[in-house]
Chains A and B, each alone.
Chain A
Amino acid sequence: MGGIGRRGVLLGGAATTGALAAPVVRGQRAAGVKIGLVAVLTGPQAALGTHLRDGFLLGLKHLENRLGGLPAEVVVIDDELRPEVAVQKVRAALERDKVDFVVGVVFSNILAAVMRPVTEANTFLISTNAGPSTFAGRGCNPFFFTTSYNNDQVHSVMGQAAQDEGHRRVFLMTPNYQAGRDAIAGFKSRFRGEVVDEVYAPLDTRDFSAELARIAAAKPDALFTFMPGGLGVTLVRQYRQAGLANIPFLSTFTVDEATLPAQQDAALGFFSAAPWAPNMDNPQNKRFVADFEAAYNYVPASYAAQSYDAANLLDSAVRRVNGNLSDKNALREAIRAADFRSVRGTFRFGTNHYPVQDMWLCRVARRPDGRFQTETVRRVLEANADPYGAECRMRVA
């Protein structure tokens, strides 16, 4: 692994604090697979990281803690949603724990931070949520795969859905940061109607009453919004309380199984876009959802599903190379083959290592057992490849 000797010197003791790994016996390279699982487990967005971690661990459990026949060991890394912390801990995992794969990552800024340390160590990085455009086009990388989606893809689905539903005047509202502006760009890429107004709310907004009054005054056919985590919980409840629920609520990453326990009735009938939903009708998904709820007692969100898929993806890849992890080119081909049964039904990678997949319009529903989940309404885009794939020239050293 190139670059380690040079960097090892820089690693202080503090770098290793969060990694929950058993000490590695030096010089012994056990015949197993070691995974560094990166997720945000502290801070306001920790619920998302918990989904991600539990999904991957359930995947391993279903595989009897073996990947392609080799015993698997997971080093859980809490990135704290701080890029510098993520880089330190991931370097420690690479150099001290000698992980064979780095998996996980909820947020794009964390992914951007760990991208170089991992891939320059010739180690495969499998993102199970963050899917920024940065690494989909010119910035694509032979050591990087994602089992989730390209962010733009999801927003553009909503644009297409709004177009299909015949909404002519749409009000757009997102948080005032890069991902928020990307969301609006993604939505507009497929929406041809009139944008009544765009509102950028501060990222720490706790009260949307000012924005809601503007929406009411504009009287749009529909609202498109992207308000992840706690922002979405607040917005959805206040939107309902303000009596605006008769204006269709089109959203991305705003109503999902991570936020629904807090939104509950308030989110009923609200729309989201996703490549997966818990009600998808295939045997592997049914088993995933049932066992996930039995093990962790909450409904899994897409973060969990994509991570569950990643565990199965790795299993298939390690099996395909007969447990020989040192031939990176063979391993890459094995991952690219994606020879596993996804909870989404079908799954394959595009040339840029991002999934080519169906994208769905989903709606929040209450299940007979009283819990809430998103359910597929219709397929909006079929076998959709993200628009950046064409720019990607995968250079394999």
Chain B
Amino acid sequence: MSAQLLLVQSLNGLQFGVLLFLVAAGLTLVFGVMDFINLAHGVQYMLGAYLGATFAAWAGGFWWGLLLALPTTLAIGLALEWLVFRHLYDRDHLSQVLATFGVILVLNQGVRAIWGTAPLQMPLPEALSGGIALMPGLLYPVYRLAILAAGVLLAGLLWFLVEHTRTGALVRAGASNAPMVAALGVDIRRLFTVVFAFGAMLAGFAGVMAAPILSVEPGMGDSLLILAFVVIVIGGIGSVRGALMSALLVGLIETLGKSLMPDLMRLFLDPSAARQAGAALASMLVYIAMAAILAVRPQGLFPARAG
């Protein structure tokens, strides 16, 4: 494997990590602040992709799609919180899992009813449609670099919001002791609503950004959600910084593992067995890493409740 290939694969890993972070950030806040398990978070990612593709086709162009999809996913997040989730905060985790799983089924089926079952496509923005030749024969799409940049920018913004604003302080306080914050006269329910809707919008943003490179199809959020849970568990529940670090880590492990594992296995096994064993092992690698990290640091890498 050449250095160039390694560079390209690392970029791929980071870019995947950034997408993961956008989904995981909302999830970790909702889980950390409200102690609420929201399996339906991946659906927001799917809705973002669908709405982005639809608005882009309707209004003509990627940017309109992005611009219109963001407030819509925010509104859907608010509506879901108001209709379903706020009735579940006081219930146990099992009820939350059941109810939010139900939301997944309803929305996946709803998407199918509205948009049909065939995958949709969303155009690349004109300005970002080119590619850079990072290695001979391969164009690295500028758009992927843009995703990376947008993700890093948003991470910075999120860090600023959480660490340096009043709302952010309340969110952090809510994450460590919600009843105490409520006792101090803060309307914790409203805070929950804001955090929830914001998280939904972040996932929607990730969906819109992913739509031009991935296939927009029903259930596209489900597989990402599992990795997002891995990310927040590794990063420490409720911690935005932890979510960023572990998302990048998971993205790198996933991508480099897929690329390096078959070569690595070839040292021990004959080629065809190595390819299959390598592929199988690569898909397990993230979970092995999670198990290893949790064995050493059960609270995750950057626990929100320090102490």
- B185 contacts chain A at the CB level, 8 A cutoff: no
Contacting pair A216 B135 (CB below 8 A): yes
Contacting pair A243 B131 (CB below 8 A): yes
Q: How far is it, in angstroms, between the C-alpha of A241 and the C-alpha of B219 when the chains are bound?
A: 24
Contacting pair A209 B139 (CB below 8 A): no
- B242 contacts chain A at the CB level, 8 A cutoff: no
Q: How far is it, in angstroms, between the C-alpha of A213 and the C-alpha of B214 when the chains are bound?
A: 16
- B79 contacts chain A at the CB level, 8 A cutoff: no
Q: How far is it, in angstroms, between the C-alpha of A44 and the C-alpha of B223 when the chains are bound?
A: 12
- B259: which of A50, A210, A241 is its contact (CB, 8 Å)? A210
Q: Which residues of A contact B219 (CB under 8 A)?
A: 43-44
Closest-by-CB residue of A relative to B109 is A42
Closest-by-CB residue of A relative to B278 is A200
Contacting pair B275 A241 (CB below 8 A): no
What interface size band does chain B fall in? 35 or more
What interface size band does chain A fall in? 35 or more
Tell me the smallest distance from the CB of A222 to a CB of chain B, in Å.
14
- B141 contacts chain A at the CB level, 8 A cutoff: yes
Q: How far is it, in angstroms, between the C-alpha of A243 and the C-alpha of B131 when the chains are bound?
A: 8
Contacting pair B118 A47 (CB below 8 A): yes
- A261: which of B112, B118, B139, B259 is its contact (CB, 8 Å)? B118
Q: Is the interface of A mostly helix, strand, loop or mixed?
A: helix
Tell me the smallest distance from the CB of A216 to a CB of chain B, in Å.
3
Q: How far is it, in angstroms, between the C-alpha of A102 and the C-alpha of B129 when the chains are bound?
A: 48
Closest-by-CB residue of B relative to A49 is B117
Q: How far is it, in angstroms, between the C-alpha of A298 and the C-alpha of B121 when the chains are bound?
A: 16
Type the 1/0 row for A235-250, where 1 means its CB is closer than 8 Å to any CB of B: 0011001111000000
- A199: which of B139, B140, B214, B262 is its contact (CB, 8 Å)? B262
Q: Which residues of A contact B138 (CB under 8 A)?
A: 212-213, 216-217, 242-244
Closest-by-CB residue of A relative to B277 is A200
- B196 contacts chain A at the CB level, 8 A cutoff: no
Type the 1/0 row for B121-133, where 1 means its CB is closer than 8 Å to any CB of A: 1001000000101
- A258 contacts chain B at the CB level, 8 A cutoff: yes
Closest-by-CB residue of A relative to B4 is A217
- B258 contacts chain A at the CB level, 8 A cutoff: yes
Contacting pair B217 A44 (CB below 8 A): yes
Tell whether A262 pairs with B120 under 8 Å between CB atoms, given A44-B217, A213-B5, A237-B213. Answer: yes
Contacting pair B215 A230 (CB below 8 A): yes
What are 28 A-B contacts defined by CB distance under 8 Å? A44-B117, A44-B219, A46-B117, A46-B218, A47-B117, A47-B118, A176-B283, A181-B276, A202-B258, A202-B283, A206-B210, A207-B12, A209-B8, A210-B259, A213-B12, A213-B138, A214-B5, A216-B135, A229-B119, A230-B215, A233-B121, A234-B213, A241-B124, A242-B141, A243-B137, A258-B118, A261-B119, A262-B119
Binding site for B on A (CB under 8 A): 42-44, 46-47, 50, 176, 181, 198-202, 204, 206-207, 209-214, 216-217, 219, 229-231, 233-234, 237-238, 241-244, 258-259, 261-264, 266, 298
